[in-house]
Chains A and B, each alone.
Chain A
Amino acid sequence: MKLLWFHLMPYTDLPEDFTEKHPSVWVDIDSRLFDPLRAHEIYNEFMDELEFAAQSGFDGICVNEHHSNAYGLMPSPNLIAASLARRTRDAALVIMGNSLALYNPPIRVAEELAMLDCISGGRVVAGFPVGTPMDTCYAYGQNPSQLRQRYEEAHDLILKSWTEPEPFVWNGRFHKLRYVNPWPRPLQQPHPPVWIPGGGSVETWQWCARRDYVYSYLSYFGYKAGEATMRGFWREMERLGKDANPYRAGFLQFVGVAESRREALDLYREPAEYFYGRCLHVDPRFAAPPGYATEKTLRARVQSMVAQAAERAGNRHFFQQPDFESIVDRGYVIVGSPDEVAERLRAVATELNVGHLMLLMQFGNMRRPLAVHNTELFAKRVMPQLAGLFDDRWEDLWWPRPLPAERRAAVREGPR
């Protein structure tokens, strides 16, 4: 079992009347709500938290990519990862951006991830999301009808640039490069493990199976809503003749630990309601640019009454502000004492068969003391209860292979 600590880096100071006064947290969010002095504080807090999680024994720390988004202040996850590469020693750096279609030429992504892999001594996981409609089609103006074609070409180009020893010519549909020969190249050979953050599309699952990549379901709606998706994923793996190695999968879950369940309900109410209210206040007009969903996905959606009902329910949750009781009831956030959280997470990991649990332990407007408290309690009293799960039967073939500690470069404070 791998436990990963995931940061979204939400802006913590959206006003209380945000959902009434503003149409969207994303794309056209009012820039006057952004205070760079606050950002100076919280960026540093958030990076402290990621570093603290690494020191506390989490197997990996995760960053991701969003644009024009007040709940995700990481347009460039690579920048944050660069600092973490120097300030952490052993944790995997799980970089759940870059949205490949946004970079031209895409070898920029190959170069930056190779830099990070070299700096960190081979601790990088390369996450390649297609990216949400809000990020890609609206904030970054990509053509929704070309997005997947561009993503696929960028992926092929990056992988070839990591693995092809000679300089080569790329005469692609969207990119023409006479000399592809990135320097530096990744430390992990042939390349860092690739994880694909995705929604519930069968095509993504099939692609992950074909390429032997990790499929990572990054939903904000927890283990109950995610169960159908993960079951679908495993059914498809079985159909394609893949084994049930839980390390083929990643799954995101919000968690709040306290001494008791009652205390947890007190402590995490405000940040959870802030996240599921203000942070997920996304204007539906940015949800479905034509061509973003493939026809296969659309057809499955329209055909299946069950899926339709689920989608309606999903949309309702997504766009209507739930109170903390329903956030907890629906399993969006798992809260409780260390024993309760350990028991629940063990059940989630086992039932969804997920080897990489990606935990959001700072969320909404949670400040550093509580985030640190949550992380510390988890590391001391939950983590030991989950240690070793799956490892008697399965090997994680998708985990970074860093240099052994004795071969890693020293990080020195001064010039001596």
Chain B
Amino acid sequence: MSAPRERRARGPAVSAPRERSVEAAGLRFRIWEKGEGAPLGFLGGLRGLPRWPEVLDRLAASRRVIAPSLPGFPGALGHDALDGVPDWVCAVLDALEASGLEGADLVGASVGATLAAEVACFARASVRRLVLIAPFGLFDEREPVADVWAQRLSELPSLLSAEPAKLEAFLARPEGEDEVEWQIALTRASEAAARLLWPLGDLGLARRLHRIRAPTLLVWGARDRVVPASYAKRFADGISGWVEQKSIPDAGHMAEIDRPEAVADAILRFLGSG
């Protein structure tokens, strides 16, 4: 496969993270880890982390980045045992504790950001500072969240991303991976996200947001066509803690894939070196 190589030629070299596997409450999680310094958790977006993305490499230059996979997303199974927000919050707390992230700074993208926000509502002490990249969870009928699960396949990349080629490279099957299982894993990730979010209405988060006291950075792609950028203000208004907002130009819903450098810079500027 040549796509990843070409991609590397354009950006900085992305090297593999250390991988380990932990078990918590009967579920097995893959944990990817890279870098030195204060731990920084990362929860992936709509497709989870099928591969180690450039944004995490950039964060790992300053921090010890730890990315546990969540149930149903690449690297973990078990989403079909989870029936609602409390089940998901428990599973994420289990994953955070098992990977040494309890009380650490936490970054989440899209569905991962939703879960990071929920965890911060239910278990304040488990999160130090919070970075939310375009979370789902609120809903405004005047400006509805787009239905990512009712799209023609050809139109989906440009809905999710302002740089569809980067998204396609992120999702492309690496050499050596089984073609069938790779497709199944990506579909399962969509299912896991849908299991929590379907049909993309209000998760009840609006009634809990005030529980978030952790200093929070809201990152939004300026061209997010899924969760409109105006939702940043709705989140900012609801959260009780210190809130900063950062809009990423020329980025869509998957801002961390579209503009890894700008997103990593914004996160590191907010969090400092630990």
A291 to B190, CA, bound (A): 8
> Of the candidates A144, A283, A284, A302, which one forms a contact with B191 in the assembled complex, judged by CB atoms under 8 Å apart?
A144
- B87–chain A nearest beta-carbon distance, Å: 11
The reply to whether A143 and B195 form a contact with Cβ atoms under 8 Å apart is yes
Report Cα–Cα, A145/B179, bound state, in Å.
Answer: 23
Q: Is A298 an interface residue (CB 8 A)?
A: yes
In the bound complex, residues from chain A placing their C-beta under 8 Å from that of B198 are: 137, 141, 143-145, 289
Binds A, one of B133-141, B180-188, B217-225, B266-274: B180-188
Using known A-B contacts A138-B150, A149-B80, A284-B152, determine if residue A144 contacts B194 with beta carbons closer than 8 Å: yes
The residue that B150 contacts in the complex, of A285, A291, A298, A303, with Cβ under 8 A, is: A285
**Alpha-carbon distance A222/B79, docked complex (angstroms):** 38
Q: Which residue of B lies closest to A27 (CB)?
A: B150
Interface flag for B242 (CB, 8 Å): no
Within the complex, the shortest CB–CB distance from B136 to chain A, in Å, comes to 14
Q: Is the CB of A145 within 8 A of B151?
A: no
CB distance from A161 to the nearest CB of B (A): 23
Q: Are B191 and A290 in contact (CB under 8 A)?
A: yes
Is A407 close to B, CB under 8 A? Answer: no
**What is the bound-complex CA distance between A181 and B26, given in angstroms?**
37
Could you tell me the distance between the alpha carbons of A137 and B198 in the complex, rounded to whole angstroms?
Answer: 9
Contact: B180 with A145, CB < 8 Å? no
> Known contacts being A141-B199, A146-B83, A302-B180, is A285 close to B151, with CB within 8 Å?
yes
Size bracket of the A interface = 20 to 34
Whether A286 is near chain B, meaning CB under 8 Å from some CB there, is yes
Q: Does A239 reach chain B (CB closer than 8 Å)? A: no
Interface residues of B in 144-180 (CB under 8 A from A): 149-152, 179-180
Q: Are B195 and A145 in contact (CB under 8 A)?
A: yes
Question: Which B-chain residue is minimally distant from A300 (CB atoms)?
Answer: B180
Question: How far, in Å, is B190 (CB) from chain A's closest CB?
Answer: 4
Contact among A137, A146, A290 with B187 in the assembled complex (CB-CB below 8 Å) = A290
The answer to whether A290 and B151 touch (CB under 8 A), given A145-B195, A173-B83, A302-B184, is no
* A324 vs chain B, min Cβ distance (A): 28
Chain B interface main SS type: helix
B195 touching A299, Cβ below 8 Å: no
Write the nearest CB–CB distance from B134 to chain A, whole angstroms: 19
**Distance between A144 CB and nearest chain B CB, rounded to angstroms:** 6
Cα separation A137 to B188 with both chains bound (whole Å): 17
A283 to B80, CA, bound (A): 28
Q: Identify which of B80, B149, B179 gathers the most chain A CB atoms within 10 Å of its CB.
A: B149
Given contacts A144-B191, A149-B80, contact A290 B149 (CB under 8 A): yes
Q: A145-B195, A285-B150, A285-B152 are in contact. Are A299 and B180 (CB under 8 A)?
A: yes
In chain A between 137 and 161, which residues have their CB closer than 8 angstroms to a CB of chain B? 137-138, 141, 143-146, 149
A375 to chain B, nearest CB (A): 38
Among residues of A, the one whose C-beta sits closest to the C-beta of B197 is A143
A303 CA to B199 CA, complexed, in Å: 30
Nearest-CB distance from A229 to chain B (Å)? 22
A145, A283, A299: residue with the most chain B Cβ atoms closer than 10 Å: A145
CB distance from A67 to the nearest CB of B (A): 14
CB-nearest residue of chain A to B156:
A285
Asked whether A406 is an interface residue with its Cβ less than 8 Å from the other chain, the reply is: no
Instruction: Choose among B150, B152, B184, B191 the residue that contacts A145 (Cβ–Cβ < 8 A).
Output: B191
**A295 CB-CB contact with B under 8 Å:** yes
List 29 A-B pairs, Cβ < 8 Å: A137-B198, A137-B199, A141-B198, A143-B194, A143-B195, A143-B199, A144-B149, A145-B79, A145-B192, A146-B83, A146-B195, A149-B80, A283-B152, A284-B152, A286-B150, A290-B191, A290-B193, A290-B194, A291-B190, A291-B191, A291-B194, A295-B184, A295-B187, A298-B183, A299-B184, A302-B179, A302-B183, A302-B184, A303-B180
| Given A144-B194, A290-B149, A290-B187: 9 more A-B contacts, CB < 8 Å | A145-B80, A145-B194, A149-B80, A174-B83, A289-B198, A290-B190, A290-B191, A291-B191, A302-B180
Residues of A that sit less than 8 Å from B by CB: 137-138, 141, 143-146, 149, 173-174, 283-286, 289-291, 295, 298-299, 302-303
